[in-house]
Chain A
């Protein structure tokens, strides 16, 4: 089986711009979760989607949003970028509920905001 893929792998944006990141889960996995990883805050849960519905959301401002398509592929969007949004964004897929099943992570998208 192909693993979780994320595109793009690297991205440089300017403050105030918006960005869209993409994640393709493992075939058959219906749950997709997104995480932000920074040296200061560590790994933080952004949100989880299951069958095109957002099931859970972490403590992030409304500038962070996402969606999931019928083929389980997911995108996350960050609007009005701030310098503090520079981070590694990781996507993970799970067969069903990530609280019950292991998650498979993609390689991440490294976002740099200048």
Chain B
């Protein structure tokens, strides 16, 4: 079964309003990564957050990780039309055969 589950499945917001996506997972992880995918193309790595970190920033992106709740959130500040894409969280395990598990993603649509 999928480890990471993003919420919501789809999100439409106005340009400039902050966009928040959440990811929940079931078992302990080594780290968690967020990726973006534009329209059926390859994925682009956004942020990696380790299990001992609580928050990370990269440009307009802010990721939090709460290991007690087994959840992570991705905040995009002042999104633009170019941020329209699907966003995936990936949970990663050092000592499991299926070591990388992606959620089904949040489809983000930024309205002009």
By a beta-carbon cutoff of 8 Å, the part of chain A in contact with chain B is 4, 33, 35, 42-45, 48, 56-59, 88, 90, 92, 97-108, 110
**Considering the complex of A and B, which 7 residue pairs feature the smallest CB-CB distances, nearest first?**
A105-B42, A43-B102, A99-B92, A102-B45, A42-B104, A105-B43, A107-B42
Beta-carbon contacts of B14-35 to A below 8 Å, as 1s and 0s? Answer: 0000000000000000110101
B82 touches A (CB below 8 Å): no
B79 touches A (CB below 8 Å): no
By a beta-carbon cutoff of 8 Å, the part of chain B in contact with chain A is 2, 30-31, 33, 35, 40-45, 48, 88, 92-94, 96-105
Given A100-B31, A106-B42, are A45 and B103 also a contact pair (CB < 8 Å)? no
Bound Cα distance from A33 to B33, whole angstroms: 15
Asked whether, in the complex, the Cβ of B93 is within 8 Å of the Cβ of A99, the reply is yes
Asked whether, in the complex, the Cβ of B97 is within 8 Å of the Cβ of A57, the reply is yes
Task: Report A35 CB to chain B, min CB distance, Å.
Answer: 8
User: Which A residues lie within 8 Å of B94 (CB)?
Assistant: 97, 99-100
Task: Report B4 CB to chain A, min CB distance, Å.
Answer: 10
Given A98-B92, A99-B30, A102-B48, are A45 and B43 also a contact pair (CB < 8 Å)? no
Task: Report B91 CB to chain A, min CB distance, Å.
Answer: 10
Asked whether, in the complex, the Cβ of B92 is within 8 Å of the Cβ of A105, the reply is no
Bound Cα distance from A12 to B100, whole angstroms: 28
Asked whether, in the complex, the Cβ of B42 is within 8 Å of the Cβ of A45, the reply is no
Cβ contact of A45, chosen from B35, B45, B88, B101, cutoff 8 A: B101
